[in-house]
Amino acid sequence: MKKIFNKKANPTSLIKRVIAYGIDWYLGAALASLPLMVIYYTMHDHIKVIPNQIALFEYPVNIIVALLCFIVIFFYYVFIPYKYDGQTLGKKLMKLKIVNEDYSALSKKTLVIRQVVMMMLVEGSIYASTATFHQLLRLLSGATFTKIYTIVGLILTILSVVLLVLTKSHQSLHDLVCHTLVVDISSREYKNQLIQLQKEKKRMKNCISC
C-alpha cells in the first residue's frame, strides 16, 4: 500500500480525465445499445420508444443481441485505443492517452485486461455500456447473483475512484492492476518521458548491434 501511494506524481489534470470519461461513458452507452435498437425497430417499426432491455427478445435472439452489443463495446473501448495509440474519442478531445507506466505503447492484451476485464467486468457497476452484460447475467444466473455482483462491482468502483484521487500517480484500480497511466500528451512531463524512452530504445538497439 505504501508503494502505491509513493509512486511518481502524475501531473495530468483530473478535470480533463473526468470530462474524457463523461464523453466515453455517453458514447459507449449509445453504441452499446445501438444493435438492440436497430434489431428491435426492424422487428417492430411502429415502436417509437425502445427500452434498452434484451428481455424484449426471446431466446436465442436475446443472446445474439447481447453478443452484438459486446462486439460494439469491444470495438470502442479496445480496438479504437489500440488503433489510435491509447486514445478513445474522449481522450483524443482532451489530449489524453493511456500508456504503460514506462510511457511505452500498450499491447492489445493490456488493453483487453484494462478496458474489458477490469473496467467493465470488475468495476462495471456504473458503466452504462455494461448494462447489457448485467441483463444477460440476470437471464442466465438469476437476479440474486446479479445483485451481489453489482454490489461488489460498485464497491470496487468506489475504491477505484478513491485511489484515482488520492494517489500521486492518479492511478485507479484498473491502472494499478495493469501498470498503466493516463497522461496528458501536451504536458512537458510526457514529452520528456518520450525523449527518454527513445534514447533507451536507441541505446538498446546499439547494444544489440554490438
* Least confidently predicted of 58-62, 82-86, 153-157: 58-62
The span from the CA of 115 to the CA of 133, in Å, is 14
Q: Which residues contact 99 (CB under 8 A, 6 or more apart)?
A: 86, 105, 106, 180, 181, 183
Q: How much is the average pLDDT of 165-191?
A: 94
Q: Tell me the pLDDT band of 141, cut-offs 50, 70 and 90.
A: confident
End-to-end Cα separation, the chain, in angstroms:
42
Q: Tell me the pLDDT band of 165, cut-offs 50, 70 and 90.
A: very high
> What CA–CA distances, in Å, run from 40 to 26, 47, 50, 54, 96?
21, 9, 8, 10, 36
Structure confidence by residue, pLDDT tens digits, 69-87: 888 888 999 999 999 999 9
Q: What confidence score (pLDDT) does residue 59 get?
A: 84
Q: What confidence score (pLDDT) does residue 210 get?
A: 60
Domain definitions of the chain by residue range: 12-204
Which residue shows C-alpha cell 494499478? 176
Please, where are the H alpha helices in the chain? 2-5, 14-43, 61-74, 80-83, 89-93, 108-111, 131-141, 143-166, 173-178, 188-209
The span from the CA of 132 to the CA of 75, in Å, is 15
Query: HSE-up of 106 (CA within 13 Å, CB side)?
Result: 29
